[in-house]
């Protein structure tokens, strides 16, 4: 394995975060802090607890997932789209580096940024609400798997997009609404039986539910199912990326 090639891509992408620190780190943290203030104060004064957990603490896992999902997709999609836009992608494809190593470099950097951002938001949440993480190891497992899976999705979007505006379509019009409808600010148990069944078709319900279980040991679906769905989504994205490089879709033409 060409570790030097992976490191070159990884370091370049991580350096871009340093150059855009306000946009990459500060802005998402401030936005999430506003959610804490608005929802914690406005709704938290009316909904004191959900399943024995204070409302302010209950929304922490959902808010972390909301940021991690969107940032993973956006970081990875821009990371691979920009070389396509400038034409430097052909230099990467002609270099002595395999497609697996290219993916590891780009996706690894995007996932690292999202994990760091998620941990910063987690640390920030302690300033607003008292938190206790019941299963810190499982919390990290869900965080890493989710970041990797959605960074792969972002890589796919970056290859598919033929303009900067298309990079925003799926994160803004698909992922963000599904996250809000996936139990970020509420438990699906408060919904009617019909809508509880409908929400099971939302894949983000499983990610948010499993991540919340690692904090409070409460979940809308069994944690085993959440873990399985997360891994299943990761495998699907890996298969699509493999197909992209095998066929050269939007890379070699």
Pairing, β 49-50 against β 53-54: antiparallel
Residue 90 has pLDDT above 90, yes or no: no
- Determine the pLDDT at residue 247: 87
| 190-236 confidence digits (pLDDT tens) | 888 888 888 989 999 999 999 999 999 999 999 999 999 999 999 99
Q: Is the entire prediction scored with pTM above 0.95?
A: no
Residue 141 has pLDDT above 90, yes or no: yes
- Determine the pLDDT at residue 5: 86
- Interacting residues of 133 by C-beta distance below 8 A, sequence separation 6+: 139, 214, 215
Number of residues that this document lists for the chain: 253
**How far is residue 10's CA from residue 110's CA, in Å, rounded to a whole number?**
9
- Helices and strands, counts by H and E, the chain: 12, 2
- Interacting residues of 131 by C-beta distance below 8 A, sequence separation 6+: 57, 60, 122, 125, 215
Least Cα distance to 104 among 238, 248, 252 occurs for: 238
Exposed e or buried b per residue across 2-16, where buried means at least 16 C-beta atoms within 10 angstroms of its C-beta:
beebbebbbeebeeb
**How far is residue 68's CA from residue 208's CA, in Å, rounded to a whole number?**
11
**How far is residue 108's CA from residue 76's CA, in Å, rounded to a whole number?**
9
Average of per-residue pLDDT across 90-114: 90
**How far is residue 70's CA from residue 157's CA, in Å, rounded to a whole number?**
12
**How far is residue 147's CA from residue 32's CA, in Å, rounded to a whole number?**
17
Cα end-to-end distance, the chain, whole Å: 27
- The pLDDT-based confidence of 133 (bands split at 50, 70, 90) is very high
- The pLDDT-based confidence of 119 (bands split at 50, 70, 90) is very high
| 31-80 confidence digits (pLDDT tens) | 888 887 777 666 666 677 788 888 888 989 999 999 999 999 999 999 89
Q: If phi over 0 gives left and psi between -120 and 50 gives alpha, with beta otherwise, what is residue 248?
A: left
- Interacting residues of 245 by C-beta distance below 8 A, sequence separation 6+: 99, 102, 103, 251
Least Cα distance to 65 among 133, 138, 147 occurs for: 147
Assess contact for 133 and 215: CB atoms under 8 A.
Answer: yes
Cα-Cα-Cα-Cα dihedral sign, residues 135, 145, 233, 70: positive
Q: On the CB side of 12, how many CA atoms lie within 13 Å of its CA? A: 17
Average of per-residue pLDDT across 237-252: 87
Q: What angle do CA 217, 197, 50 make, to 5 degrees?
A: 35
């Amino acid at each position: 394995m060409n570790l030097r090639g992976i490191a070159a891509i990884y370091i370049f992408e991580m350096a871009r975060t340093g150059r855009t620190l306000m946009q990459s780190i500060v802005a998402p943290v401030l936005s999430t802090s506003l959610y804490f203030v608005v929802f914690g104060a406005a709704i938290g004064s009316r909904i004191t607890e959900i399943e024995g957990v204070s409302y302010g603490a209950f929304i922490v896992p959902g808010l972390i997932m909301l940021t991690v999902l969107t940032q993973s997709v956006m970081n990875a999609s821009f990371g691979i789209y920009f070389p396509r836009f400038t034409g430097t992608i052909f230099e990467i494809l002609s270099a002595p580096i395999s497609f697996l190593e290219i993916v590891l470099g780009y996706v690894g950097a995007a996932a690292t940024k999202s994990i760091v951002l998620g941990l910063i938001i987690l640390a920030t949440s302690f300033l607003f609400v008292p938190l206790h993480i019941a299963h810190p190891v499982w919390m990290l497992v869900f965080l890493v798997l989710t970041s990797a899976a959605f960074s792969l999705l972002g890589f796919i979007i970056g290859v598919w997009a033929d303009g900067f505006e298309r990079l925003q379509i799926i994160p803004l019009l698909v992922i963000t609404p599904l996250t809000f409808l996936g139990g970020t600010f509420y438990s699906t148990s408060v919904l009617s039986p019909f809508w509880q069944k409908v929400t099971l078709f939302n894949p983000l319900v499983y990610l948010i539910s499993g991540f919340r279980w690692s904090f409070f040991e409460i979940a809308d679906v069994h944690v085993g199912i959440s873990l399985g769905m997360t891994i299943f989504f990761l495998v699907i994205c890996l298969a699509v990326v493999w197909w992209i490089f095998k066929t050269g879709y939007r890379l070699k033409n």
